[in-house]
Amino acid sequence: MKIVCDRRWLIVSFEQPQMCLSWAICGGGRIKTKTVAWYQVKTQELEPPVDSKQFLKSRLMENAMPDAVGMLTSADLNAYADVQKTHNDLLVRSIATVGMDNALRVGDRPSKAYQEASCDAIPIGTINLLCALSIPISEEAHLEALSIATEARTVAVLEAKLSSSETGLPATGTGTDCVVITAPESTNEFTSYAGKHTILGHLIGVSVFEAVSLGLQRWKKQH
């Protein structure tokens, strides 16, 4: 894996194509890719009638990354957190960018500004996370890994003791978080489980928790 942080881009590239599962704005769902990219966006760039997905697609095309999994953020890309955890030959690496101006608690009602698509009235800030696994995993394990990573992110946010911008209750994330899980492709051998009772689930949980926690610490210092 190679990481490049250049101006408004944070780019993670792999030597071999990876199976990727996410709800990323570009390249979301289950796809095969060699690139995961963050683009630092400015608030005014997404004012209506701008389509955020088409906006990012255009940026990716301009930078020769049409097949990348792409995420948008206003966070300081240079403050990204990178945590690796290993056990024998197994490695899990979590990379996170963190912004919390858009902090919300799960279950909060959408803000009036969001419903009216008034982007200039919505604080931009998000947690974008890549969790890269060193071994092939089954479809079920991929979904489980996504769940474990999301849970670990939530615990990190809760322990940071930040408040929802809508209700003032303890925040569990932001309104625009994204989690990406990558793993090598294999048609023969793969790991079938990634839950809390597995070493893989343990490594996912602790690496994501530490990466998001570190990102939160850096964001707090800047704000």
Return the sign of the alpha-carbon dihedral for residues 57, 63, 66, 70: negative
At 170-214, the pLDDT tens digits run 999 999 999 999 999 987 889 999 999 999 999 999 999 999 999
What CATH code is carried by the domain that includes residue 121? 3.60.70
How many independent structural domains does the chain possess?
A: 1
Domain span including residue 127:
2-222
**For the purposes of burial, counting CB atoms within 10 Å of the CB of 138, is it exposed (0-12), middle (13-18) or buried (19 or more)?**
middle
pTM: 0.93
Note the pLDDT tens digit of each residue in 31-78: 999 999 999 998 788 877 889 999 999 999 999 999 999 999 999 999
